[in-house]
Amino acid sequence: MILVTGATGRVGYRLMEALADAHADVAALVRVEARADDLPGTPGHVVATFDDPPPAEILRGFDRVFLLSPAIEEQAELETVFIDALVAAGHGPHVVKIAADGFADPGCEVRFMLSHRQVAAHLDATGLPVTYLAPALYMEDLLALAGGMRESGELSAPAGHGRVGFVAASDVATAAARVLTSAGHEGATYVLTGPEALRFKDVATRVSAVFAREVGYTSQRPGRARAAMLARGASPWQADGTLELFDWIRQGGANTVSAAVRELTGAEPQPVQDWLEESRAGFEGPPLDLPPSFF
């Protein structure tokens, strides 16, 4: 049986859809019981949190665990508590952990990647079978820039000419479903990207073509970007980490394209223009109530 954490998020929800389609035996970890009613299919659910995990007798019922938590300052601490609960239960489930492209590079000092690296070191030390999924930046993060593009006709980000292998959350979820429902993935790390690495200028060009309106690109100054993120509700920790991320992008760290999505799912990853078409409401409709993101 599969336990899915982060089941109500952008990847977790799509993973629940994919697992329902695969008729997998699955349960979702939810903080509030009512949230389970909105999940796809008819999954079971466990009411618990990362820092207050389910009791051992419940954890022993799962042989695969999907590990995903928000990119917050306490992420490494929370995931470590949950991993320790799995070990203390006296059971050895296969853990499929969502990390981030760059987390395994010891030269990458972006705090989001450092959190994943810390968790990975702890997880590896437990001896549990583990698979790491390391997505590039999500296409969905671009939705946080939609309002600015509508108002000013500019995509603004402190990315310079750096390239990113943007990946759709649906492709990450489909890849995760395949790993969770098939054998032979223990010990592997899969970097998940879209079909090409794009500059933000290229993204602006695709937006212009899909929505038939001119959108330019401005490489924003880091200080101005930080102020904008704080104004949208990001914490100083998130804002400063995002600036580290963009510095890494400017230096070429995110210029990655892999074949992992196709190899795992048998389908080509979604190109950004197709994702833009599917996300038209987010770009042309009223502003979305989005949580603070990398942007």
Give the tens place of pLDDT for each residue, 134-182.
Answer: 999 999 999 988 888 888 899 999 999 999 999 999 999 999 999 999 9
Give the tens place of pLDDT for each residue, 233-267.
Answer: 889 999 999 999 999 999 999 999 999 999 999 99
pLDDT band at 292 (very low <50, low <70, confident <90, very high): very low
pTM: 0.95
φ, ψ of residue 19 to 5 degrees: the values are -70, -35
- Asked if 82 and 126 touch (Cβ cutoff 8 Å), the reply is no
Nearest in space to 24 (alpha carbons), one of 49, 43, 38, 7: 43
Nearest in space to 69 (alpha carbons), one of 84, 82, 55: 82
Helices (H), 91-145: 111-126
Q: What is the mean pLDDT of residues 49-76?
A: 96
Q: Which fold has domain 2-135+168-191?
A: Rossmann fold (3.40.50)
- 262-266: which pairs have CB atoms within 8 A and are 24 or more residues apart? 264/174, 264/175, 264/178, 264/179, 264/190, 265/171, 265/174, 265/175, 265/178
Task: Please report, rounded to a whole number, the percentage of residues in the chain having pLDDT higher than 70.
Answer: 96
Nearest in space to 20 (alpha carbons), one of 184, 180, 171: 180
Residue with structure tokens 């959350």? 169
- What are the sequence ranges of the domains in the chain? 2-135+168-191, 142-163+196-255+270-284
Give the tens place of pLDDT for each residue, 266-287.
Answer: 999 999 999 999 999 888 776 5
- Asked if 67 and 97 touch (Cβ cutoff 8 Å), the reply is yes
Residue with structure tokens 């030390």? 125
- Asked if 47 and 30 touch (Cβ cutoff 8 Å), the reply is yes
- Asked if 120 and 103 touch (Cβ cutoff 8 Å), the reply is yes
Provide the pLDDT for residue 284: 79
pLDDT band at 288 (very low <50, low <70, confident <90, very high): low
Nearest in space to 282 (alpha carbons), one of 231, 224, 196, 207: 207
Provide the pLDDT for residue 295: 43
Burial class (CB in 10 A: 0-12, 13-18, 19+), 11: buried
Task: Please report, rounded to a whole number, the percentage of residues in the chain having pLDDT higher than 90.
Answer: 84
Burial class (CB in 10 A: 0-12, 13-18, 19+), 285: exposed
The separation between CA 208 and the C-alpha centre of its own chain, rounded to angstroms, equals: 26
Q: Domain 142-163+196-255+270-284: give its CATH superfamily.
A: UDP-galactose 4-epimerase, domain 1 (3.90.25.10)
Q: Is the pLDDT of residue 289 over 60?
A: no
Nearest in space to 131 (alpha carbons), one of 174, 169, 167, 179: 179
Please give the single-letter amino acid code of residue 83: I
